[in-house]
Amino acid sequence: MRTDKHTAMLLASRVIPVLRLRSREEAQTAIDCLIEAGFNTVELTLTTPGAVELIGALRRNSSADFLVGAGTVLDLASARACLDAGADYLVSPCLVPGMAALARAAGRIALTGGFTPGEVLAAWREGAAVVKVFPASTGGPAHLAALHAVYPDIPLCPTGGVSSSNMLDFFRAGAAVVGVGNNVIDQKALAAGERSAVIAHARGFLDLAPTAAS
């Protein structure tokens, strides 16, 4: 396992909210609720309108111990834009050659996607701090357990299909941290402006997650 400040902080967070929302305003409200719920990181996917600008604003307005991630980074131009905006980590659903090195040169880290044993090892050898097992729903906890058995020293982050009902199963299977998509946000409550309900729903994921020492 690679050790650096960003990696240690991310693994300690245990749950990474992965937001893929329809507007910058909706994303900003969701992020505010996540921060109030106690999360110390958020990954904002580049499919969200105005994502790079929002990443920059979030980095400027957040404390140093809050990590801002950029998700669905598919090329080096996008990676550079996110790093320039202040992203602490870059996340891709697949291997993007050179992305991990670019992040490392900027003092940041990369979470590179892989699904098969070969893809996981390739992502790790490319320099990923954490390998994102995506889509996690396809193989489930059993698939993650098989990967963890052969790569016990590679921190794995299942993402895509992780929910409150199966999150503990992924941790038991060997997940170092999990990525939880839009279901971390109560969408109906968010649309209705019911902030307290959004916060309570999101906090439930943190309450459920085991500590790193568990």
In this structure, are residues 156 and 133 in contact, taking their beta carbons and an 8 Å threshold?
yes
Q: Which two tokens stand for residue 152?
A: 């016990």
CATH architecture assignment, domain 5-208: Alpha-Beta Barrel (3.20)
**Is residue 188 annotated as part of the catalytic site, yes or no?**
no
Q: Write the DSSP symbol of residue 177.
A: S
Question: To which H or E segment does residue 79 belong?
Answer: helix 76-85
132 is a catalytic site residue: yes
pLDDT at 19: 92
CB atoms within 10 A of CB 172: 12
- Average pLDDT value over all residues in the chain: 95
Q: Give me 199's structure tokens.
A: 């916060």
Average pLDDT over residues 139-143: 98
Give me the torsion for CA of 54, 211, 150, 72, rounded to 10°.
-10
Residues 197/57/21/18 CA torsion (nearest 10 deg):
-80
Catalytically annotated residue among 5, 26, 43, 126: 43
Question: Is pLDDT of 2 > 80?
Answer: no
Write out pLDDT tens, residues 112-138: 999 999 999 999 999 999 999 999 999
Average pLDDT over residues 128-151: 98
Instruction: List, as one string, the DSSP characters of 146-175.
Output: HHHHH-TTS-EEEBSS--TTTHHHHHHTT-
pTM comes to 0.95
Q: Where are the domains of the chain?
A: 5-208
Element (H, E) at 132: strand 130-133
Active-site choice (53, 132, 188, 194): 132
pLDDT score for 212: 60
How far, in whole angstroms, is CA 173 from its chain's centroid? 18
In sequence order, the β-bridge partners of residue 15 are 178
Task: Confirm if 21 and 182 have CB atoms less than 8 A apart.
Answer: yes
- Residue 72, by phi and psi: left (phi above 0), alpha (psi -120 to 50) or beta? left
pLDDT in tens, 102-115: 999 999 999 999 99
Query: Cα–Cα distance between 51 and 28 in angstroms, integer?
Result: 10
- Which amino acid is present at 72? T
